[in-house]
Amino acid sequence: MSNQKLNIQWFPGHMTKAKREMQSMLSMVDMVIELRDARVPNASKNPLIDELVGQKPRLIVLTKIDKAEDEETKRWIQLLSNEYTVVVGVDVLHDNVKKIISENALFLMKEKRERQIKKGMNPRAVRCMVCGIPNVGKSTLINQIAAKKTLVTGDRPGVTKNTRWVKVNKDIELLDTPGVLWPKFEDEQIGILLAITGAIRDQVLPLEEVAYAALKYLKAYFPERLQEAYGVTIIENNYKLFLEIGRNRNLLQKGNEVDYNRTIETFMKDIRANRFGKITWERTDAVHE
């Protein structure tokens, strides 16, 4: 394993544009719905969103709970909740996300709407900006909510081909935004975690570095799952362990030698295919909010 320090910077021009658009659109909404990956709830947080959102009410939706550990997800929900923030976990493909989003958005905006009613006003639909880093399930969630007939496009300020309004019901409207990553990873561990879960392309980081980090974590927390998946004896030396995995998976090349690169690639594919079961790659007791 290389000891070379990772220098991770990945901020394409369209992401800079997306940040400007998000700033302009925040004035149009009442609250923010931020999607994060339940497997990496801290790493999938975008610091730019904290900076832009300020004290607006926020609903944090932890997606992919079907791939994360149930008890750890509960602990994350408790850790991330505060007076301005409600946190829920969802399986976007199987839960009633329309109901979950609607109920929690109305709960967050309840006091404001009640004040409007007392003043004799008829509260308009709550406008929510939906944001999150790429590959966190935002498009899937929006599509689950939005039948084609509910898509709203038009000349509202800030609406571009990269954004759309989605009418959930008479009380809730969503403003979809492009997925945004931040200018650089100050903490290389965040980049590693996002690479493990596939939030950033494998070409961005050295795949071997990512695989070694994932193997180390599995050895620490789920050694029995490694043994069950590959029929290996857990040993300290990661390079030799990968060779044993490659041999047991018959990932061989000429001369009956283990194809090391193919083994690394196969290992990462196995992680993303949930071969090891539900795994939360960040633990609440290791994160200081």
150 is in an annotated binding site: no
167 is in an annotated binding site: no
Q: Rg of the chain over CA atoms, in angstroms? A: 21
CA distance 236 to 199: 28
Structure tokens at 49: 């969103």
Question: What residues have CB less than 8 Å from 76, skipping those under 6 apart?
Answer: 38, 41, 62, 87, 280, 284
179 is in an annotated binding site: yes
159 is in an annotated binding site: no
C-alpha distances in angstroms, 38 versus 99, 164, 217, 257? 20, 25, 17, 38
139 is in an annotated binding site: yes
204 is in an annotated binding site: no
120 φ, ψ (degrees, to nearest 5): 85, 10
Tokens 């990873």 correspond to 185
277 is in an annotated binding site: no
Q: Which residues pair with 85 in a beta bridge?
A: 58, 82
Reduce the secondary structure of 227-282 to three states and give it as a string: HHHHCCCCCCCHHHHHHHHHHHCCCECHHHCECHHHHHHHHHHHHHCCCCCCCCCC
CA distance 190 to 9: 12
Strands ordered across the beta sheet of 126-132: 85-89, 58-63, 31-37, 126-132, 172-176, 164-167, 151-152
Q: Nearest 5°: CA angle at 25, between 20 and 31?
A: 125
Could you tell me which residues are annotated as the binding site? 135-140, 179
Could you tell me which residues are annotated as the binding site for GTP? 135-140, 179
